[in-house]
Structure 1
Amino acid sequence: MKIGNPLLDQATSTNVDLLFEHYLKSLGLISGGVFYKNIENYIYESIYTQVGGDFNGYQVTQTVNGANAHVYGYEIAWQQQLTFLPGFLNGFGIYGNFTQIQSKFKVPGFVSERTVRLPSMRPKVGNASLSYEKYGFSGRISLNFYETFISELADVQENDLMEKGRTQLDFSASQKITKNFSLFMGINNITNAQIILDYGDGRPNDHKYYSSWANIGFKYTPIH
Protein backbone atom coordinates (compact mmCIF):
# COMPACT_ATOMS: atom_id res chain seq x y z
CA MET A 1 0.00 0.00 0.00
CA LYS A 2 1.36 3.43 -0.95
CA ILE A 3 0.27 6.64 0.78
CA GLY A 4 1.11 10.31 0.35
CA ASN A 5 2.66 12.71 2.84
CA PRO A 6 1.39 16.32 2.82
CA LEU A 7 3.69 17.17 5.76
CA LEU A 8 6.95 16.85 3.80
CA ASP A 9 9.49 19.60 4.38
CA GLN A 10 11.56 20.94 1.51
CA ALA A 11 15.07 19.52 1.30
CA THR A 12 17.94 22.02 1.06
CA SER A 13 21.61 21.40 0.31
CA THR A 14 24.88 23.22 0.98
CA ASN A 15 27.61 22.12 -1.43
CA VAL A 16 31.38 22.52 -1.58
CA ASP A 17 33.17 21.41 -4.76
CA LEU A 18 36.83 21.54 -5.79
CA LEU A 19 37.49 20.64 -9.44
CA PHE A 20 40.48 20.67 -11.77
CA GLU A 21 41.00 20.10 -15.50
CA HIS A 22 44.14 19.57 -17.57
CA TYR A 23 43.96 19.71 -21.36
CA LEU A 24 46.35 17.44 -23.25
CA LYS A 25 48.10 18.44 -26.47
CA SER A 26 46.71 15.52 -28.44
CA LEU A 27 42.99 16.24 -28.07
CA GLY A 28 42.59 14.98 -24.54
CA LEU A 29 41.41 16.02 -21.10
CA ILE A 30 42.10 14.81 -17.57
CA SER A 31 39.76 16.06 -14.86
CA GLY A 32 38.98 15.31 -11.25
CA GLY A 33 37.49 16.73 -8.12
CA VAL A 34 36.29 16.28 -4.58
CA PHE A 35 32.93 17.32 -3.17
CA TYR A 36 30.92 17.60 0.04
CA LYS A 37 27.18 18.10 0.50
CA ASN A 38 25.14 18.74 3.64
CA ILE A 39 21.47 17.99 2.92
CA GLU A 40 18.81 19.09 5.39
CA ASN A 41 15.42 17.32 5.53
CA TYR A 42 16.57 14.64 3.09
CA ILE A 43 13.57 13.16 1.25
CA TYR A 44 13.42 9.42 0.62
CA GLU A 45 10.94 6.59 0.15
CA SER A 46 10.46 4.30 3.15
CA ILE A 47 8.74 0.97 3.77
CA TYR A 48 7.19 0.04 7.10
CA THR A 49 4.53 -2.25 8.55
CA GLN A 50 1.31 -0.54 9.65
CA VAL A 51 0.45 -1.13 13.30
CA GLY A 52 -3.19 -0.76 14.37
CA GLY A 53 -6.21 0.57 12.48
CA ASP A 54 -8.02 -0.91 9.50
CA PHE A 55 -4.77 -1.71 7.70
CA ASN A 56 -2.94 -3.37 10.58
CA GLY A 57 -0.11 -5.57 9.28
CA TYR A 58 -0.07 -4.03 5.80
CA GLN A 59 3.25 -3.04 4.22
CA VAL A 60 3.19 0.72 3.60
CA THR A 61 5.39 2.74 1.22
CA GLN A 62 5.59 6.48 1.95
CA THR A 63 7.84 9.40 1.04
CA VAL A 64 9.23 10.96 4.23
CA ASN A 65 11.88 13.34 5.55
CA GLY A 66 15.04 12.08 7.20
CA ALA A 67 17.54 13.89 9.37
CA ASN A 68 20.47 15.83 7.91
CA ALA A 69 22.49 13.83 5.38
CA HIS A 70 26.18 14.11 4.59
CA VAL A 71 27.67 13.20 1.22
CA TYR A 72 31.33 13.37 0.21
CA GLY A 73 33.54 11.76 -2.40
CA TYR A 74 35.67 12.21 -5.47
CA GLU A 75 35.44 11.83 -9.24
CA ILE A 76 38.06 11.38 -11.96
CA ALA A 77 37.78 11.31 -15.75
CA TRP A 78 40.09 10.88 -18.73
CA GLN A 79 39.31 11.25 -22.41
CA GLN A 80 41.85 11.02 -25.19
CA GLN A 81 41.84 10.91 -28.98
CA LEU A 82 44.83 8.80 -30.01
CA THR A 83 45.81 11.08 -32.88
CA PHE A 84 49.52 10.46 -32.21
CA LEU A 85 49.24 6.86 -33.44
CA PRO A 86 50.20 6.04 -37.06
CA GLY A 87 47.83 5.31 -39.93
CA PHE A 88 44.34 4.01 -39.28
CA LEU A 89 45.10 3.67 -35.54
CA ASN A 90 44.82 7.44 -35.01
CA GLY A 91 41.06 7.14 -35.32
CA PHE A 92 40.80 5.46 -31.92
CA GLY A 93 39.73 7.28 -28.77
CA ILE A 94 39.31 6.27 -25.14
CA TYR A 95 37.17 7.59 -22.32
CA GLY A 96 36.78 6.64 -18.68
CA ASN A 97 35.35 8.08 -15.49
CA PHE A 98 34.92 6.86 -11.93
CA THR A 99 33.06 8.30 -8.95
CA GLN A 100 33.18 7.10 -5.34
CA ILE A 101 30.67 8.46 -2.85
CA GLN A 102 30.42 8.09 0.92
CA SER A 103 27.12 9.08 2.51
CA LYS A 104 25.34 8.76 5.82
CA PHE A 105 22.28 9.99 7.64
CA LYS A 106 20.20 8.98 10.63
CA VAL A 107 16.84 7.36 10.03
CA PRO A 108 14.32 8.51 12.66
CA GLY A 109 10.94 7.14 13.61
CA PHE A 110 11.50 3.42 13.07
CA VAL A 111 11.99 0.62 15.60
CA SER A 112 15.29 2.24 16.58
CA GLU A 113 17.35 5.07 15.14
CA ARG A 114 20.14 3.91 12.85
CA THR A 115 22.74 5.45 10.56
CA VAL A 116 22.71 4.31 6.93
CA ARG A 117 23.91 5.29 3.48
CA LEU A 118 21.58 7.50 1.48
CA PRO A 119 18.94 5.59 -0.49
CA SER A 120 19.41 5.59 -4.28
CA MET A 121 23.00 6.79 -3.83
CA ARG A 122 25.37 4.44 -5.65
CA PRO A 123 28.67 4.18 -3.70
CA LYS A 124 30.73 3.51 -6.83
CA VAL A 125 29.92 4.32 -10.46
CA GLY A 126 32.15 3.96 -13.49
CA ASN A 127 32.11 4.16 -17.27
CA ALA A 128 34.69 3.23 -19.90
CA SER A 129 34.50 3.31 -23.68
CA LEU A 130 36.61 2.72 -26.76
CA SER A 131 35.66 4.66 -29.88
CA TYR A 132 36.78 4.84 -33.50
CA GLU A 133 36.10 7.62 -36.01
CA LYS A 134 37.67 7.57 -39.47
CA TYR A 135 36.76 7.01 -43.13
CA GLY A 136 33.14 7.98 -42.49
CA PHE A 137 32.81 5.32 -39.80
CA SER A 138 31.95 6.04 -36.17
CA GLY A 139 31.74 3.32 -33.54
CA ARG A 140 31.78 3.00 -29.77
CA ILE A 141 31.76 0.14 -27.28
CA SER A 142 30.89 1.18 -23.72
CA LEU A 143 31.02 -0.49 -20.32
CA ASN A 144 28.98 0.94 -17.42
CA PHE A 145 28.82 -0.32 -13.85
CA TYR A 146 27.55 0.62 -10.42
CA GLU A 147 27.89 -0.92 -6.96
CA THR A 148 25.11 -2.33 -4.77
CA PHE A 149 23.02 0.41 -3.12
CA ILE A 150 19.95 0.90 -0.93
CA SER A 151 16.87 1.34 -3.11
CA GLU A 152 14.29 1.79 -0.32
CA LEU A 153 14.57 1.96 3.47
CA ALA A 154 12.38 -0.16 5.74
CA ASP A 155 11.61 -0.19 9.46
CA VAL A 156 14.52 -2.58 10.08
CA GLN A 157 17.71 -3.29 8.14
CA GLU A 158 16.61 -6.83 7.22
CA ASN A 159 13.72 -5.38 5.19
CA ASP A 160 15.71 -2.67 3.37
CA LEU A 161 15.41 -3.07 -0.39
CA MET A 162 18.84 -3.40 -2.03
CA GLU A 163 19.62 -3.15 -5.74
CA LYS A 164 22.59 -5.32 -6.59
CA GLY A 165 25.58 -3.97 -8.46
CA ARG A 166 25.33 -4.21 -12.24
CA THR A 167 27.62 -4.04 -15.29
CA GLN A 168 26.26 -3.37 -18.78
CA LEU A 169 28.02 -3.50 -22.16
CA ASP A 170 26.68 -1.54 -25.17
CA PHE A 171 27.80 -1.02 -28.78
CA SER A 172 26.83 1.57 -31.39
CA ALA A 173 28.12 2.36 -34.88
CA SER A 174 27.32 4.33 -38.01
CA GLN A 175 28.77 4.41 -41.51
CA LYS A 176 28.39 7.34 -43.87
CA ILE A 177 27.25 6.13 -47.30
CA THR A 178 26.76 9.44 -49.12
CA LYS A 179 26.81 13.07 -48.07
CA ASN A 180 23.18 12.72 -47.00
CA PHE A 181 22.73 9.09 -46.01
CA SER A 182 24.29 6.99 -43.28
CA LEU A 183 23.62 3.53 -41.87
CA PHE A 184 23.43 3.13 -38.09
CA MET A 185 23.05 0.28 -35.62
CA GLY A 186 23.16 -0.27 -31.87
CA ILE A 187 23.22 -3.24 -29.50
CA ASN A 188 22.36 -2.64 -25.85
CA ASN A 189 23.00 -4.88 -22.83
CA ILE A 190 25.16 -7.31 -24.81
CA THR A 191 25.94 -9.38 -21.70
CA ASN A 192 22.25 -9.61 -20.66
CA ALA A 193 22.91 -7.99 -17.27
CA GLN A 194 19.91 -8.36 -14.97
CA ILE A 195 18.46 -5.97 -12.40
CA ILE A 196 18.28 -7.68 -8.99
CA LEU A 197 16.38 -6.36 -5.98
CA ASP A 198 16.85 -8.27 -2.71
CA TYR A 199 16.02 -7.53 0.92
CA GLY A 200 18.76 -6.66 3.38
CA ASP A 201 18.88 -10.21 4.75
CA GLY A 202 19.25 -11.73 1.27
CA ARG A 203 15.64 -12.67 0.55
CA PRO A 204 14.78 -12.15 -3.15
CA ASN A 205 12.34 -9.40 -4.09
CA ASP A 206 12.48 -8.82 -7.84
CA HIS A 207 14.81 -10.15 -10.55
CA LYS A 208 14.40 -8.54 -13.99
CA TYR A 209 15.84 -9.85 -17.26
CA TYR A 210 15.70 -7.51 -20.25
CA SER A 211 17.98 -9.54 -22.56
CA SER A 212 19.87 -7.71 -25.31
CA TRP A 213 18.12 -5.46 -27.80
CA ALA A 214 19.26 -3.89 -31.05
CA ASN A 215 18.25 -1.30 -33.61
CA ILE A 216 19.35 -0.65 -37.17
CA GLY A 217 18.33 1.92 -39.76
CA PHE A 218 19.18 4.63 -42.24
CA LYS A 219 19.59 8.29 -41.42
CA TYR A 220 19.08 11.16 -43.84
CA THR A 221 20.73 14.51 -43.13
CA PRO A 222 19.81 17.40 -45.45
CA ILE A 223 22.70 19.54 -46.62
CA HIS A 224 21.92 23.17 -47.44
Structure 2
Amino acid sequence: VEVYLKEPLMSIHLSPKQVALDMLCLCSQLDLLIRAQVHQGQTKLDLNPEESEAFQNQGAEIIDQMKQCLQNSSKPAPFLEDYLDIAGLSMIFPRVEVYVIHGSPVDMLEEPAMDGYFSQLGRLNQLLGFSQQLDNDVKHIRRHKYIPHQLAVVHQGLKSFKDVVPLSAIKKDIEANFKSLKMSLVAEEGSEQEPQLPAQYIRWVSQVTQSIISAITSLPEELTDELNPVMAFVSEL
Protein backbone atom coordinates (compact mmCIF):
# COMPACT_ATOMS: atom_id res chain seq x y z
CA VAL A 1 0.00 0.00 0.00
CA GLU A 2 1.40 3.38 -0.98
CA VAL A 3 0.60 6.30 1.31
CA TYR A 4 0.88 9.87 0.03
CA LEU A 5 0.76 12.10 3.09
CA LYS A 6 1.37 15.31 1.16
CA GLU A 7 -0.91 14.59 -1.78
CA PRO A 8 -4.38 16.20 -2.00
CA LEU A 9 -7.38 13.88 -1.82
CA MET A 10 -8.88 15.43 -4.95
CA SER A 11 -7.28 16.83 -8.06
CA ILE A 12 -6.89 20.59 -7.89
CA HIS A 13 -6.77 23.05 -10.75
CA LEU A 14 -5.27 26.43 -9.95
CA SER A 15 -5.42 29.60 -11.98
CA PRO A 16 -2.09 31.20 -12.99
CA LYS A 17 -2.63 33.86 -10.32
CA GLN A 18 -3.21 31.25 -7.62
CA VAL A 19 -0.11 29.38 -8.73
CA ALA A 20 1.97 32.57 -8.62
CA LEU A 21 0.77 33.45 -5.11
CA ASP A 22 1.37 29.93 -3.82
CA MET A 23 4.84 29.89 -5.37
CA LEU A 24 5.62 33.27 -3.81
CA CYS A 25 4.72 31.88 -0.38
CA LEU A 26 6.71 28.69 -0.91
CA CYS A 27 9.74 30.64 -2.13
CA SER A 28 9.52 32.81 0.99
CA GLN A 29 9.48 29.72 3.20
CA LEU A 30 12.43 28.15 1.42
CA ASP A 31 14.41 31.40 1.40
CA LEU A 32 13.99 31.80 5.17
CA LEU A 33 15.01 28.17 5.66
CA ILE A 34 18.14 28.65 3.55
CA ARG A 35 19.06 31.86 5.36
CA ALA A 36 18.71 30.14 8.72
CA GLN A 37 20.88 27.24 7.56
CA VAL A 38 23.56 29.55 6.15
CA HIS A 39 23.61 31.57 9.37
CA GLN A 40 23.87 28.40 11.41
CA GLY A 41 26.76 27.24 9.26
CA GLN A 42 28.56 30.55 9.78
CA THR A 43 28.20 30.44 13.56
CA LYS A 44 29.13 26.77 14.04
CA LEU A 45 32.37 25.08 13.04
CA ASP A 46 30.63 21.77 12.44
CA LEU A 47 26.95 21.32 11.72
CA ASN A 48 25.21 18.51 13.50
CA PRO A 49 24.40 15.78 10.91
CA GLU A 50 20.86 15.60 12.27
CA GLU A 51 20.44 19.36 11.73
CA SER A 52 21.74 19.09 8.17
CA GLU A 53 19.43 16.18 7.46
CA ALA A 54 16.46 18.07 8.90
CA PHE A 55 17.25 21.02 6.63
CA GLN A 56 17.54 18.80 3.56
CA ASN A 57 14.24 17.12 4.38
CA GLN A 58 12.45 20.43 4.90
CA GLY A 59 13.96 21.87 1.73
CA ALA A 60 13.01 18.82 -0.31
CA GLU A 61 9.47 18.96 1.04
CA ILE A 62 9.04 22.60 0.01
CA ILE A 63 10.42 21.89 -3.46
CA ASP A 64 7.99 18.98 -3.78
CA GLN A 65 5.17 21.36 -2.86
CA MET A 66 6.38 23.77 -5.54
CA LYS A 67 6.38 21.05 -8.17
CA GLN A 68 2.95 19.89 -7.05
CA CYS A 69 1.70 23.46 -7.30
CA LEU A 70 2.93 23.69 -10.89
CA GLN A 71 1.32 20.34 -11.68
CA ASN A 72 -2.00 21.72 -10.44
CA SER A 73 -1.81 24.66 -12.83
CA SER A 74 -4.50 24.95 -15.46
CA LYS A 75 -1.69 25.51 -17.97
CA PRO A 76 0.98 22.97 -19.00
CA ALA A 77 3.48 22.73 -16.16
CA PRO A 78 6.97 24.10 -16.89
CA PHE A 79 10.08 22.89 -15.11
CA LEU A 80 10.51 24.50 -11.70
CA GLU A 81 13.70 26.35 -12.68
CA ASP A 82 12.01 27.71 -15.80
CA TYR A 83 8.97 28.89 -13.87
CA LEU A 84 11.11 30.78 -11.35
CA ASP A 85 12.74 32.66 -14.23
CA ILE A 86 9.53 33.27 -16.17
CA ALA A 87 7.63 34.54 -13.12
CA GLY A 88 10.50 36.73 -11.93
CA LEU A 89 10.83 34.84 -8.66
CA SER A 90 14.47 34.03 -9.32
CA MET A 91 15.22 37.76 -9.13
CA ILE A 92 13.37 38.12 -5.83
CA PHE A 93 14.74 34.90 -4.31
CA PRO A 94 18.21 34.24 -5.79
CA ARG A 95 19.07 31.85 -2.94
CA VAL A 96 16.07 29.72 -3.85
CA GLU A 97 17.10 29.56 -7.49
CA VAL A 98 20.62 28.43 -6.55
CA TYR A 99 19.25 25.85 -4.13
CA VAL A 100 16.78 24.46 -6.68
CA ILE A 101 19.55 24.08 -9.27
CA HIS A 102 22.46 22.95 -7.09
CA GLY A 103 20.77 21.56 -3.98
CA SER A 104 22.98 23.44 -1.52
CA PRO A 105 22.31 26.52 0.63
CA VAL A 106 24.47 29.51 -0.24
CA ASP A 107 24.51 33.15 0.78
CA MET A 108 24.61 36.03 -1.67
CA LEU A 109 27.47 38.49 -2.06
CA GLU A 110 24.89 41.27 -2.35
CA GLU A 111 21.90 41.30 -0.03
CA PRO A 112 18.75 40.44 -2.01
CA ALA A 113 16.03 43.07 -1.96
CA MET A 114 13.69 40.63 -0.24
CA ASP A 115 15.86 40.30 2.87
CA GLY A 116 14.31 43.32 4.58
CA TYR A 117 10.72 42.34 3.84
CA PHE A 118 9.78 40.35 6.93
CA SER A 119 11.66 42.55 9.41
CA GLN A 120 10.00 45.68 7.99
CA LEU A 121 6.60 44.02 7.97
CA GLY A 122 7.15 42.90 11.55
CA ARG A 123 8.09 46.40 12.72
CA LEU A 124 5.08 47.92 11.00
CA ASN A 125 2.73 45.31 12.43
CA GLN A 126 4.16 45.70 15.92
CA LEU A 127 3.85 49.49 15.90
CA LEU A 128 0.35 49.26 14.47
CA GLY A 129 -0.69 46.78 17.16
CA PHE A 130 0.78 48.85 20.00
CA SER A 131 -0.94 51.98 18.70
CA GLN A 132 -4.32 50.29 18.32
CA GLN A 133 -4.06 48.85 21.84
CA LEU A 134 -3.11 52.21 23.35
CA ASP A 135 -5.91 53.97 21.49
CA ASN A 136 -8.43 51.46 22.81
CA ASP A 137 -7.09 51.58 26.38
CA VAL A 138 -6.96 55.35 26.72
CA LYS A 139 -10.58 55.60 25.57
CA HIS A 140 -12.17 52.65 27.36
CA ILE A 141 -10.10 51.71 30.41
CA ARG A 142 -10.62 53.84 33.49
CA ARG A 143 -7.24 53.04 35.03
CA HIS A 144 -4.63 55.12 33.25
CA LYS A 145 -1.68 54.07 35.38
CA TYR A 146 0.09 52.25 32.55
CA ILE A 147 -0.68 54.69 29.73
CA PRO A 148 2.75 56.40 30.00
CA HIS A 149 4.48 53.02 29.74
CA GLN A 150 2.40 52.09 26.69
CA LEU A 151 3.17 55.46 25.12
CA ALA A 152 6.89 54.89 25.78
CA VAL A 153 6.65 51.53 23.98
CA VAL A 154 5.01 53.24 21.00
CA HIS A 155 7.76 55.86 21.04
CA GLN A 156 10.38 53.10 21.01
CA GLY A 157 8.66 51.58 18.00
CA LEU A 158 8.73 54.91 16.20
CA LYS A 159 12.49 55.18 16.75
CA SER A 160 13.04 52.20 14.45
CA PHE A 161 11.67 54.22 11.52
CA LYS A 162 14.26 56.85 10.75
CA ASP A 163 13.72 59.55 8.13
CA VAL A 164 10.01 58.77 7.78
CA VAL A 165 8.60 62.29 7.93
CA PRO A 166 5.08 61.66 9.30
CA LEU A 167 6.35 59.26 11.98
CA SER A 168 9.29 61.50 12.92
CA ALA A 169 6.88 64.37 13.58
CA ILE A 170 4.75 62.15 15.83
CA LYS A 171 7.84 60.98 17.72
CA LYS A 172 8.84 64.58 18.43
CA ASP A 173 5.30 65.36 19.58
CA ILE A 174 5.46 62.50 22.09
CA GLU A 175 8.84 63.67 23.36
CA ALA A 176 7.51 67.19 23.86
CA ASN A 177 4.46 66.09 25.85
CA PHE A 178 5.48 62.88 27.59
CA LYS A 179 6.81 64.40 30.81
CA SER A 180 3.75 66.57 31.43
CA LEU A 181 1.43 63.64 30.66
CA LYS A 182 3.28 61.49 33.18
CA MET A 183 3.15 64.24 35.81
CA SER A 184 -0.62 64.50 35.38
CA LEU A 185 -0.91 60.97 36.76
CA VAL A 186 1.00 61.66 39.97
CA ALA A 187 -1.42 61.15 42.85
CA GLU A 188 -1.92 63.96 45.32
CA GLU A 189 -0.45 63.34 48.74
CA GLY A 190 -2.90 61.52 50.97
CA SER A 191 -5.26 60.70 48.10
CA GLU A 192 -6.42 57.09 47.86
CA GLN A 193 -8.00 57.57 44.46
CA GLU A 194 -5.97 56.49 41.47
CA PRO A 195 -5.46 59.51 39.21
CA GLN A 196 -6.83 59.57 35.68
CA LEU A 197 -5.61 61.43 32.66
CA PRO A 198 -7.22 64.80 32.08
CA ALA A 199 -9.52 64.92 29.07
CA GLN A 200 -7.01 66.97 27.09
CA TYR A 201 -4.40 64.22 27.37
CA ILE A 202 -6.89 61.51 26.49
CA ARG A 203 -7.70 63.41 23.31
CA TRP A 204 -4.02 64.00 22.60
CA VAL A 205 -3.03 60.34 23.06
CA SER A 206 -5.88 59.30 20.79
CA GLN A 207 -4.77 61.81 18.16
CA VAL A 208 -1.23 60.45 18.34
CA THR A 209 -2.31 56.84 17.97
CA GLN A 210 -4.76 57.63 15.18
CA SER A 211 -2.02 59.52 13.33
CA ILE A 212 0.29 56.52 13.58
CA ILE A 213 -2.42 54.11 12.45
CA SER A 214 -3.26 56.35 9.50
CA ALA A 215 0.40 56.73 8.51
CA ILE A 216 1.02 52.97 8.56
CA THR A 217 -2.18 51.89 6.81
CA SER A 218 -1.70 54.44 4.05
CA LEU A 219 1.72 52.84 3.33
CA PRO A 220 3.67 55.93 2.25
CA GLU A 221 6.65 55.39 -0.01
CA GLU A 222 9.11 55.83 2.87
CA LEU A 223 7.68 52.72 4.55
CA THR A 224 7.46 50.44 1.54
CA ASP A 225 11.01 50.23 0.16
CA GLU A 226 11.54 46.79 1.70
CA LEU A 227 8.04 45.69 0.68
CA ASN A 228 8.34 46.71 -2.97
CA PRO A 229 9.55 43.36 -4.39
CA VAL A 230 6.44 41.55 -3.18
CA MET A 231 4.08 44.45 -3.87
CA ALA A 232 5.36 44.76 -7.43
CA PHE A 233 5.10 41.00 -8.00
CA VAL A 234 1.52 40.81 -6.72
CA SER A 235 0.41 43.94 -8.59
CA GLU A 236 1.42 42.38 -11.90
CA LEU A 237 -0.65 39.23 -11.43
- The TM-score with structure 1 as length reference comes to 0.24
The structure that has the greater radius of gyration is 2
- The TM-score with structure 2 as length reference comes to 0.23
Larger strand fraction of residues: 1
